[in-house]
Amino acid sequence: MGKLQSKINFHTAKYRADGSVEETGPARAVQQRGPVHTDAVTSVAALKPDLCVSGGRDKSVAVCSWRSGAALRRFIGHEREVTKVTSALDSNRVFSASRDKTVMMWELHGTSGPSQHFPGHDLVVTGLAVSPDASQLCTGSRDNTVCKWDTETGECLGRAAISRNLVTHLCWVPGEPYVIQTSEDKTIRIWDSRELQVAHTFPAKRHIQTCCDVSQDGRYCLSSSSGSAGEGGEATLWDLRQTRNQVREYKGHFQTTTSCVFLPRGPALAPSIATSSYDSTVKVWDQDTGGRG
C-alpha cells in the first residue's frame, strides 16, 4: 500500500459531462467501459472493496467489478425506475428502492429474484440505510415517513411520520444506532434507530438538503444543498459529537449539489471529500481547510 499511496498526488480535478477534464495537478488516465444499464444510472454504492452496486432507470440493479467494469449480476424485479441502492460493506446483501414504492433485498450469491420485499410506503422511496450487520434497514419516502425493517423477516419494526419531511437521503452512522436523514424541508435529522425517534435536528439550511454521508470514524456528517445561478449548492460539514455544530461549508458549485461523500483516507493523504453537481462537475475538497487541491 505504501508504494501505491506514494504515487498519489492530491489535487483538484473537474470532470465535465462532455468528457473533458480540467486538471490543476498531474493528469491521470481514466478507464471507460461499456454501459451496464440501458438507461440513466440513478444510484451507486460500494458493496465490497472490489465490487459496487448500481441502479438505473431501466428498473434493474447491477453488481459490477470496480476493476473491469463488467456486470457480474443483474437483478430485475422493480416495476419502475430504481431510485436508491445500498449495502453494508462486505455484505452479500444488496438493497434497492424504486418509484414503484417498494424496497427489495437481493442476495449476491442467490437467485436472480428478490429474497425479501419491504412494502409499506405510499410514495416513491428516496432513502435507504442498512445497519453495519445488515440485520436492519431504514427507509424514507416522499410520503413524509421513515420506516425500520427486519431484513430477515421483512417485518416493519417501526414507522414515524413528520409533516413536510420529504426524505431525500439516509445513511447509517458507523458503529452507532443512529441514522442521518436529509429532507426537502431543508433540515438534517439524526434518528435513534432503536425507538425510531428523532434524537437531534440541525439548524435548517437555506436550501433543500439533497444528500448526506458520515465519516468512517462517525465523527462528522456531510450534507449537500440545492441551488441555482451560484446561490446555494454548498456542502456542509457537521460535528456529530457533543457540540453538534456546523464546522465548515464548501462553496464552488453553481447549481444543485446532488451528492457528497467522504473519500477513503490513507496515511499519506489529507482527509478529503467529493461533491457532484448539476453544473456538470465533480469537485474534491480538503476536509479540514475547505480548499480545493
Q: Which amino acid is present at 104?
A: M
Counted domains in the chain: 1
Say if 35 falls within a structural domain: no
- C-alpha grid cell, residue 77: 424485479
Looking at 215-253, which runs of residues are DSSP E strands? 220-225, 227-228, 231-232, 235-239, 246-250
Residues 62/36, Cβ–Cβ less than 8 Å: yes
142 within domain boundaries: yes
Is position 245 within any domain?
yes
d(CA 116, CA 239): 35
Q: Is residue 53 part of a domain?
A: no
- CATH number for position 229: 2.130.10.10
In a domain, 3, yes or no: no
Alpha carbons 188 and 166: distance in angstroms, whole number = 11
Within a domain: 164: yes
Tens-level pLDDT at each residue, the chain (293 residues): 444 333 334 344 454 444 444 444 444 555 556 678 999 999 999 888 889 999 999 999 999 998 887 889 999 999 999 999 999 888 899 999 999 999 999 999 988 899 999 999 999 999 999 998 899 999 999 999 999 999 999 999 999 999 999 999 999 999 999 999 999 999 999 999 999 999 999 999 999 999 999 999 999 999 999 999 989 999 999 999 877 889 999 999 999 999 999 998 777 678 999 999 999 999 999 999 998 76
Per-residue pLDDT at 1: 41
Residue span of the structural domain in which 120 resides: 81-286
Structural domain contains residue 195? yes
Cell of 92: 452479500
Q: What grid cell was written down for 268?
A: 499519506
Residue type, 233: G
| 216 inside domain | yes
